[in-house]
Amino acid sequence: MKRATARPSDLAWLILLTGVVAYEVAAKPEELLSEAVDRYLAKHKALTTGAILYTALHLVNWLPSWADLFYQAAVLGGKGPKNTVEIDLTITNECQ
């Protein structure tokens, strides 16, 4: 039987999930993360909703790489997925 191994990104998700749960358990009243989002929505509805939707689009890989700021940050840091499709947006004048 082959033993499953976790990749670094899998461990990162596990650490993130553990951190969120730990925070929620230890949070003071009215300081849950979802309650913070409620406060942000009350003051900046469009910005908060946009940030959440943008992050979701990134996570499901529905943003082209040129519009994905998370991806661009990884590229600037010398990282970045090797299985992405780059789109060449070079404009050429091929009319003769």
Query: Which amino acid does the sequence have at 69?
Result: L
Beta strands in 14-59 (DSSP E): none
- Block mean pLDDT (10 aa), the chain, length 96: 85 97 97 98 98 97 95 87 57 66
Alpha carbon of 24 to those of 4, 12, 18, 20, 88: distances in Å? 30, 18, 10, 6, 44
Written in H, E and C, the secondary structure of 63-84 is CCHHHCHHHHHHHHCCCCCCCC
CA distance 55 to 1: 37
Cα separation, 52 vs 58, in Å, equals: 10
Looking at residue 10, its pLDDT comes to 93
pLDDT of residue 94: 67
Interatomic CA distance for residues 54 and 81, integer angstroms: 18
- Residue 5, pLDDT score: 86
pTM value surpassing 0.85: no
pLDDT of res. 78: 85
